[in-house]
Structure 1
Amino acid sequence: MASARVVKNIGRMLRKMTAVLLTALLIPAGTAIAAPARMTLSGPTGPYPIGTTELHLTDHDRLDPWSAKPRELMVSLWYPAWPSARPVASQFKPGVADFYDKNFASAGITPGMADFAGTKTHARLDAPRLPGHRPVIIYSPGGGHSRSMGTVLVEDLASRGYLVVTVDHTFTGPVQFPDRTEVLGRGVDNATVMRTRAQDTSFVLDELGARGVDLSAVGMFGHSMGGFTTAEAMIIDSRIDAGANLDGSMDPRAGQAATTGVDRPFLLMGGGLSSGEPHNHQHSDDWRSFWVKSTGWQRDLYLPAAEHSSFTDAQVMLTQLPGLPADKRSAAIGTIDPRRSVTIQRTYLAAFFAEHLEDTHTSLFDRQIYPEAQLIR
């Protein structure tokens, strides 16, 4: 009986080996099965090491329009930290990485092409914070995106001395909670979406204040819908002293920004074309209306060779994917040199917030500095 079992097991192993060999023979010679591409993020340029931690917040005074339960949010804090041997934070939580792996086809990324789960930040998890006053900057991601898709800009601001708070607006982008992952919700009109995102921002500021965070100097910026959210949040919350919109339309059917403007400093930063026209306030109706209605300090920075996703981490990530078709890459992030694009965005954002949150004057907005970036008057 024992020898019969041995013969049976040997036969099973031979069948498995035969299947493996046949599979190998069916693959053309010289063909390699590519592993998911590992990606790196541009290192921050400020003088401080950085740490990060996350908070799970519940607003018991507000029902979520998608779930009809108290509104839940995940946020991350990025801050100047003491040097630490704590683990380096990943860019994406596993559930969010899985979402991007399966839902980035619009940029030409097929499942398994990119190792979203393996991308690391430059921040240490829960590293001890450096003492001192820190102006606060809120980051709001674009619709369909995670708060982690702005890490390249967020880390740089934190390394320059800011407390940067990134907000996931639940059901308008992927977010991993301690007990589950939520993706995109449906059945809610755009006006409700924008109102909810602006209210999320005010709630986060309330929670920060309740935890002893100094809110005497607060800025905000965001990409796409996050830039729109920035303007909408400034309209309903006077605690936000300055804001920036990175390539986000401001549809007057969904919010107030284009018809009322804001009365505090605001930076518009756009790239490429929108509806066939350059995306700046001279050509985009919503931006033009916002520009005319706003009464505070304002500037409009235009990067002609950039595209919509240039203002996210995709600017540096997509260039590291050798299997990505060139036309898909340029449609997403344009033809601008990615390193120059990141440098320009970081430089202007840092100067903007330094001037309006710390009263540090800069001449950067007085004349064109970079050939890739135009100041639109």
Structure 2
Amino acid sequence: MKRALIITALVLALAGCGSIPPQRLTVPKPTGPHPVGTVSVHLVDQSRPDPWNGSGRKRELMVSLWYPARDVQAHPVAPWMPKAAAERYLEMNDLEPGSVLLDRTDGHEGAPADTSLGRLPVVLYSPGANASRAYGTGVVEELASRGYAVVTVDHPYDAAVVEFPGGRVEAGVELTDFAKAVDVRVADVRFVLDSLPSLEEKLPGRDGKPLFDLARIGMFGHSLGGAATSSAMYADPRIKAGLGLDGAVFGKVAQSGLDRPYMVVDTDGKGGMATNPTLRTFWDGLRGWRLNVTLKGAAHNSFGDDALLIPMAAEPLGLGKEQLKEVVGTIPAERALAFQRAYPPAFFEQNLRGRPQALLRGPSAAFPEVSYRR
């Protein structure tokens, strides 16, 4: 099932029955020691026209910065999805505004950054196709609460909806050329990397102090975002470590591999290393630190906030066990979320901060559903 259809199903399931009151979609609170601040930023790449809309308009991106905050009092929590984008979701499904509440995260808008932590490792996040940067909120907040600066990137026109300043919303196009989509995303990511100094200036309460450690940049993504991660690493050596969550591999990196740390997370349901020859070729070409883990019982949409949201929709939508298994597997949502809160942070702790992690060495009693391959 395509992610766009899953989103539609979720909205219909939660709002389609008049007897069911509106539900607020949330993700579990981050567990790190720092409260989380966030700001959204509009970027325009003057060097290239948008490759999807055909208007000749320069390529625009929306990104969000997530970071450890000094003080979150008097700073409201950010919405999971911006208001106009959320309303477009509902409008696309003939639903009234407010039928579903997408109005809460644990990131506080405009909260001052905690400058006492010094320079922060930077992690970029790229979501799946027909998705949104919102879908990584849970793991992104976790990283920020542990002292990372995280930049989440919306890729307009292969994202479901993107809201720009002033309430303008651009909906996604029907995506069929995934190789092109990866190339576009790589260009987006390289532009974001170029923009990091100016993005740093957007952090509230920075007081001129440098907070982004540009020598410690990592990236991760789900599905098409995982493919974008490996290809962006191939194209740009500024990305020192990458992680793909059930992502394919496209382009030259599939044959050439990488010389920096990379972690492949796959699932039995999607095929993974065992039956995906391109992924196996990529794996064989990894020359730096590498790890492949398979999350038993997971399916392609067991990653990101989908792991929580889709099971919530199953009963009111009438999804049977086999249908739900196809989408999110048999792994309980709390275990899928626990995996995301443990393994990506461990990967970046080891490969951006140089702190070896026992969790990455081999099987863990705390995660019996995870198998390892070196």
TM superposition score normalised by structure 2: 0.84
What is the deviation of 1:186?
5.0
- The match for 1:73 is 61
What does residue 331 of structure 2 align with? Answer: 336
1:33-72 matches, within 5 Å, as 33-67=19-53, 68-72=56-60
SS of corresponding position for 2:81: coil
Partner residue in 2 for 1:178: 165
1:262 aligns with 2:258: yes
Give the structure 1 partner of residue 288 of structure 2. Answer: 296
Alignment of 1:210-221 (within 5 A): 210-212=198-200, 213-221=212-220
Q: Return the offset for 1:359.
A: 0.5
1:215-254 → structure 2 map (5 Å cutoff): 215-250=214-249, 252=250
Q: How many Å separate the matches in 2 of 1:153 and 1:113? A: 28
Q: Is the 1:113–1:323 contact (alpha carbons within 8 Å) kept by the matching residues of 2?
A: no
Change (3 A) 1:36 1:329: farther
Shift of 1:37: 2.7
Give the structure 2 partner of residue 87 of structure 1: 76
Separation in 2, partners of 1:112, 1:326: 27
Kept in 1, the 8 Å contact 2:297–2:369? The answer is yes
| Mapped contact 1:39–1:320 kept (Cα < 8 A) | no
The Cα shift of 1:187 comes to 7.9
Q: Which residue of 2 aligns with 1:97?
A: 86
Q: C-alpha separation between the residues in 2 aligned to 1:346 and 1:326?
A: 28
Return structure 1 stretches of 4+ with deviation > 4 angstroms.
Answer: 99-104, 110-116
Is 1:52–1:124's contact at 8 Å kept on the other side of the alignment? yes
Moved more, 305-314 or 222-231: 305-314
**Change in CA separation of 1:115 and 1:219 when aligned onto 2, cut-off 3 Å:** farther
Which ranges in structure 2 are unaligned for 5 or more consecutive residues?
1-16, 201-211
- What is the CA–CA distance in structure 2 between the aligned matches of 1:40 and 1:211, rounded to whole Å? 27
Question: Does the 8 Å CA contact 2:22/2:101 hold for their aligned counterparts?
Answer: no
Q: CA deviation at 1:269?
A: 0.7
Residue 356 of structure 1 aligns to a residue in which SS?
A: helix
Deviates more, 1:182-191 or 1:235-244: 182-191
Residue 78 of structure 2: SS of its match in structure 1? strand
Size of the aligned set, in residue pairs, is 335
2:146 corresponding residue in structure 1: 160
Q: Distance in 2 between matches of 1:153 and 1:210?
A: 24
**CA shift for structure 1 position 193:** 1.6
Q: Are the aligned partners of 1:138 and 1:166 in contact in 2 as well (CA < 8 Å)?
A: yes
Structure 1 match to 2:177: 189
Aligned counterpart for 1:310 among listed residues 280, 284, 302: 302
Identity across the alignment (%): 39
Decide which moves more: 225-234 or 184-193: 184-193
Q: Is the 8 A contact 1:66 1:186 kept in 2?
A: no
Q: CA RMSD in A?
A: 2.3
Query: Would you say the 8 A contact 2:128–2:225 is kept in 1?
Result: yes
1:373 paired to 2:370: yes
Aligned 8 A contact 1:218 1:240 in 2: yes
Q: 2:205 — aligned with what?
A: none
Identify which of 108, 121, 138 aligns with 1:124. Answer: 108
Q: 2:158, 2:175 within 8 Å by CA — same for their partners in 1?
A: no
Contact 1:92 1:116 (8 Å CA) reproduced: no
Q: Which of 340, 345, 358 is 1:345 aligned to?
A: 340
Deviation (angstroms), 1:371: 1.0
Gaps spanning 5+ residues in structure 1: where? 1-30, 105-109
